[in-house]
Amino acid sequence: MQYRTLGKTGLQVSLLGFGASPLGNVFDPVDEKDGISAVHYALDQGVNFFDVSPFYGLTLAETRLGKALEGSRKDIILASKCGRYDLQHFDFSRKRILQSIDESLARLKTDYLDLFQLHDIEFVNKQIILEEAIPSIQELVASGKVRFWGITGLPVRYLAQIARETNPDTVLSWAHYNLLDDEINDELVPLSLELGFGLMNAAPLMQRLLSDGTLPPWHRSSLEVKAMQPILLEFCKSYNVRLSDLALRYAMNHPNIATTIIGMCELEIVKQNVAALDFIIPEELMEKIELLLAPVKNRMWFEGKEENNLRSKI
């Protein structure tokens, strides 16, 4: 396993991060024992960064991850989130954040988190984030329940805007550095180097689109983008390469992203993802893939309040 420094936190995190959302049955029903076995295998392979949220499975993912990590707390970097609790349930008030940390700690069976993050900040008014949520989460850092704090979301330019104004310890961007999108490079990467916050990338497989997995019914990519999946699968097959290996290795190759977080909960998938650390992308294949995807590059969908998105809806 390779490790990188998570910005100014100084934490050494595994290049491959364990995204625990699938433990909450977000994609498919998961047997709890199988999920716990997958976590244990990841631990044995040196994965030390685990990211979760009460939103995933409506607290189920946190509960299962807590069970899986019992006895391993000193060996891991544990991150959770607050502010988002259901598809349309957002509460970034001080009262809810202070309550949320205690609930997460209980489910995760620990007395502190290494990282506590404001989850999907684009869905509420900027004023709430700046005037209530961030002071509240900083209060938790001062209390010792949280070591570091960060922000997460989809619109990368809004993340950069908030980061400039608040100087977080970390920023988690999802779906903006993968084979289909590289918008993270425009502002967020240079800003992370300037301000020193730890930069994390999630969803390198674009919620299964860049794999042989069945797309979930809630997937929001356009039909034009979704139509690329079978084409990519057939193309990679001709090179005897697994699309998910190519996509994950591509994302992990970014030199300025500390950890690439991928959702996983099945033992065989964890084994594949760990093996992708040693995968070398054939240069010819990469050149052809880039040409193939050029017409649909950076065609991201819109989420959250429109004023928090500086791009037009796709």
By percentage, how much of the chain surpasses pLDDT 90?
A: 95
Tell me the average pLDDT across 50-64. 97
Which structure tokens are listed for 175?
Answer: 């779906």
Per-residue model confidence as pLDDT tens digits over 130-179 = 999 999 999 999 999 999 999 999 999 999 999 999 999 999 999 999 99
Cα separation of 60 and 53, whole Å? 9
pLDDT above 50 for 314: no
What is the assigned CATH class of domain 3-308?
alpha beta
pLDDT above 70 for 311: no
Active-site residue (options: 3, 41, 56, 112): 56
Tell me the average pLDDT across 87-98. 97
239 carries an active-site annotation: no
| Per-residue pLDDT, 310 | 76
Domain spans of the chain, in order of start: 3-308
| Per-residue pLDDT, 90 | 98
Tell me the average pLDDT across 74-79. 96
Residue 200: name the closest of 168, 158, 152 by CA.
Answer: 152
Average pLDDT of the chain, as a whole number: 95
Per-residue model confidence as pLDDT tens digits over 146-159 = 999 999 999 999 99
Give the pTM. 0.95
Report CA-CA distances (Å) from 228 to 50, 179, 182, 246, 248. 30, 11, 17, 15, 17
